[in-house]
Structures are given as C-alpha cells and as structure tokens.
Copies of this chain bind each other. A is one copy, B any other.
Amino acid sequence: MLLRLNALPGVRLSQARDFQVHVGGAEANVAAGLAALGHRVEHVTVLPASALGDLCLADLRRSGIGVTHVLRTEGRLGSYFIEHGSGPRPAAIVYDRAGSAFAEHADRIAWTGLAGAARWFHLSGINLPLSSQTSASALRAVEAMSSAGIPISFDVNHRPSLWGDRVAEAARLERQMMDAAEVLFASAGDLSRALGRCVDQQNAAELAFASFPKLRYLISTRRAHRGDYDQSLSMQVHTSDGAYETEATPVGLVVDRIGSGDALAAAALDGIMRGASLQQIAEAGLAAGILKIGIAGDRWVGTRDELADFHSGIGGDVKR
C-alpha cells in the first residue's frame, strides 16, 4: 500500500501546488478489480498506525476489500508522486517507499494462519526488491499457500529501478515465485532473467510450461506505438495446450496510466476462476486494462457488463 500523490494534468511535479490523493499498490489494485467483479477479497499487508494508515484502510474498504488481516505498526507510509504525461512527454514517477511500515515489518505477517481460509492467493513481484523483510514475507506466503494447496498467481512486475544492480537476486527470487504459480503474468524478458537463458516471444510459452510444472496460465501483454504519441495494447493468454491473442487495440486518451496492468490481471483472474475460455479471459483482461486508463486513480472501477460491451463501439456516445 502506498499513498499516491499526483499533480494535476499539465502541471509538472516541480510546479505542483496541489496533489490529488489516491491509494496505490499492485495487489490492492488487483483486489479492487476482483471485488468490483463480485469476489470476496482480503488484502494482507502492513500499514502504519497513523492517520495516513487510516486513510489507506478506509480506501481499501471503500473498494470493497476486506481489511481484517491488515497489521498496524509504527513507521511511515510509503508514497509515490506522479506527474501525468502529455503528448511526447511521458508520465513520471518519484518513488518514496524506503523504510515504510510494510518494508520494515512485512515479516511479522503470520501467513500460515491465513492459508486456511483462502481460496486463491495473488502476489506481485514488487514485494521482492523492497526489503529483506518483504521478500522473506513473500517467500513464506507462497510456502504457506502452497502447503495448503491454495492456487497462486504471480505478476512479476519487474521494476529495474527498484532492483538496481541486484539482478541476480531478482532472477533467483522471481524464479522461486514462478515455480509456485499456477497463473503467471510475465514477459519474455522476465522469463529470460528467471531461466537464465534467452527467451523470445516465440518460445516463451513453451519454455515456461516446460520449466514450471505447476503453471497453468501464462499471460503477457504487448504495448506498441500507434500514431504520434498514442499506444495500443494487446494481451496473450497461453496454456500448455492452446493460446489466444487479442488484437492490438488503441488505448485512447490517457487519463491515468497507472494500474492498467493490475486491472488486466484482476479481470483475467476472474475469468480463470470462473472457468472462462482463453478468448474470454484475454478479451476481458484487455478491456479492463484499457478502460482503467480512462479512469483517474490506480483502480479500475466498473462492471462485468462494461467489460463485455468493450468492443461494441460505443466510445464517444452517451449511455442514457
């Protein structure tokens, strides 16, 4: 969980006079997406026992996320500052997450006791580089869930700026997570790093399923330039015996780039849990990922019907 502060559109961080407040965090965003789709979810994390921790808690609740297992400790709340992009200027982020209550105390989470009530467990790779406590906690979580037979999904979310020169450690830890995951959100680059060999988009799925016996779904996305300063997104879902890839679809006007991957993961996991077809999983994931980009804040807010209507060409219309 992070406090996310963003400058208003068109205003650079160094000029900001006001910040809009959102609450971020990869797993929380996925949890919010799943809650919006009707799932009962709990976010297990550590928050400081301060008014800012209260703010996060209230926000989780607002999104329909259970907070029963949130640990409150002393310490600070990690935060990040966002400047929205415009035309040729990319969005920019200043992270300030070192020394957070989560980074300092994540190892106090009692994962074993939590496995009993769980039916699915999702983890983001962001946990791994933050601190030794958070990586230890992630390992213990995966262990506890694996022992209890709970399916695990893992989104690599590799951020070079967080790992710095600890690439070897990244490879080792991410691979441990991949070993445990039934659903893996990973690029060819992620697989290359974890497997220590060159993986390209052609052989990624084959190698992944060969390397990770537990793996059932490998999911990846592709962004491409489209026109001047616009992008398109496509999504690929692989199983050991089939695959589906959506068309490259324009993302449209960018309101807020952050959280698109998390929204996509939530919709994909929803499909997987509901036994949807590969096509359904991919199209719903793509829809959520793109629709998120038109919503301010880290989280997709919407309904299952909106995911289904995504390709109906009603953009620019009014739904009365």
Q: Which residues of A contact B (CB under 8 A)?
A: 5, 8-21, 50-52, 54-55, 58-59, 61-64, 76-77, 79, 81, 83, 85-96, 98-99, 159, 161, 225, 228-231, 250-258, 287, 290-291, 293-297, 301-302, 306, 310, 313-320
Contact = CB atoms under 8 A, between A and B. Distances in A.
Query: Considering the complex of A and B, which 6 residue pairs feature the smallest CB-CB distances, nearest first?
Result: A87-B252, A86-B294, A229-B315, A13-B51, A62-B62, A14-B54
A318 B258 contact: yes
9 contacts: A12-B302, A14-B55, A19-B19, A51-B83, A88-B290, A89-B294, A90-B319, A159-B320, A231-B316
Contacts of A228: 250, 252, 315
A5 B51 CA distance: 13
Contacts of A92: 51, 318-319
Nearest to A19: B19
B17 A19 contact: no
A287 to B, nearest CB: 8
A265 B253 CA distance: 29
A251 B89 CA distance: 11
A41 to B, nearest CB: 13
* Copies of the protein in its oligomer: 6
A63 B57 CA distance: 10
Contacts of A252: 86-88, 228-229
Nearest to A159: B320
Contacts of A76: 96, 98
B230 A89 contact: no
B58 A14 contact: yes
Given A87-B294, A161-B320, A255-B86, A18 B15 contact: no
A315 B257 CA distance: 12
A244 to B, nearest CB: 20
Given A14-B58, A55-B16, A62-B59, A320 B95 contact: yes
Interface centre among A89, A256, A313 (most CB of B within 10 A): A89
A121 B20 CA distance: 38
B257 A318 contact: yes
Nearest to A20: B18
A93 B295 contact: no
Contacts of A95: 320
Contacts of A62: 58-59, 61-62
Contacts of A319: 90-93
A99 B17 CA distance: 24
Contacts of A318: 85, 90-93, 257-258
Contacts of A250: 87, 228-229
